[in-house]
Amino acid sequence: MTMSYEFERPFGTIENAQEYMRLLADAVLEAKHDLEAQTGQETTPSSSREIEALRVALFSVNKLDHHIRVILRVLNDLRTLRRLMLQERTQPVHNPPRSVPNAAESIKYPPADIGA
């Protein structure tokens, strides 16, 4: 009896994984702001355990935020490497820089025959 395993690929591409990680980063950032707001609201006397729990939660969210940023950089590197290996990137076109006219050249005066 042969079993066939089909693995579902939730992220078919690196770009899909990047999009998911960006959404996760947004959610973590929102949670971080909420925790920062809660730790800043120490106007009511809370137990020291509650305050310590908020600080630990904020520390953990900061660690998670850091790891997500690292993952996003790695995914970006992988995407770049894939493009280079598969030659998906087009060769950069070298366009010489255009000269920028000075202020005197850029002023347009009306023709002399107007209003004459």
Tell me the per-residue pLDDT of 67-79, one tens digit each, with 9 for 90 and over.
Answer: 999 999 999 999 9
Taking alpha carbons only, the member of 68, 49, 47 closest to residue 57 is 49
110 falls in which pLDDT band (50, 70, 90)? Answer: very low
Position 49 scores a pLDDT of: 87
CA distances to 68, 96, 100, 108, 113 from 105, in Å: 50, 21, 10, 8, 20
Taking alpha carbons only, the member of 34, 28, 107, 36 closest to residue 72 is 28
Position 79 scores a pLDDT of: 94
Least confident of 11-15, 16-20, 61-65, 102-106: 102-106
Whole-prediction pTM: 0.62
CB 64 within 8 Å of CB 80: no
Distance CA(42)–CA(54), nearest Å, equals 11
pLDDT tens-digit profile of 5-54?
A: 566 677 789 999 999 999 999 999 999 999 999 887 765 557 888 889 99
Position 98 scores a pLDDT of: 58
Position 97 scores a pLDDT of: 57
